[in-house]
Amino acid sequence: MKHRIEQAGWNRQEHFAFFSQFEEPFFGLVADVDATRAQARARALGVSFFQLYLHATVAAVQTVENLRYRINAQGQVDCYDQINVSATLSRSDHTFAFSFIPFSPDLHAFGHGLAAEAEAVRQSSGLRLGPETGRPDVVHFSALPWVSFSGLTHARSFSHPDSIPKISVGRLRPESSRLLMPVSVNVHHGLADGYHVGLFLAELQRQLDG
């Protein structure tokens, strides 16, 4: 379900109009989260660390209204009640494909959807482009477990309208007794600011800690 954001009187009306004129309206940042407890929780729960932090990420997105805004084909802003995830999932030949995983507040129910999509990716070739992976009510997610990055850019077609947040995580990095994980967040500046990314990161940390 979704509802329309009426722009007349909206406190972001001018922000939205201003940044929507940009060739590149997205801004991004990278910050570390503490994954120490999350990794231990994954082991205790008998789930993969990937499943746990992907679920935590999508759960955190639900709590920040601005990350649930999407610009529709008519240039209006819709707010979705639930955001799902289109994650890049890898194959043994080191290619990847897009997926659609519906969000569930329950970690194990979410895991069933993730497992089904992972198997579908393994049995396929190419990117798996389609109506499901192209839905607007998602965040785009990717994991780079080979690199503990401090910056990240995304391939984008500026001629294709886009307002979907892009979230990526990198390799864990030990620091003292902690395991830090870099998180890259890219969002449309007409819809969200650094404040909203900060809310997301704080909630992501809470979700990871359980």
Going from N- to C-terminal start, the domains of the chain cover 2-209
**Residue 93 identity:** D
Residues 2-209, CATH architecture: 2-Layer Sandwich (3.30)
pLDDT at res. 157: 87
Joined tokens for residue 29: 């940042």
pLDDT at res. 198: 98
pLDDT at res. 156: 87
pLDDT at res. 192: 98
pLDDT at res. 158: 81
Q: Which residues of the chain have pLDDT under 50?
A: none
Q: Indicate the Cα dihedral angle 100, 105, 106, 111, nearest 10°.
A: 20
Helix residue ranges, H only, 75-193:
107-122
Whole-angstrom distance, CA of residue 16 vs CA of residue 147: 34
pLDDT at res. 159: 81
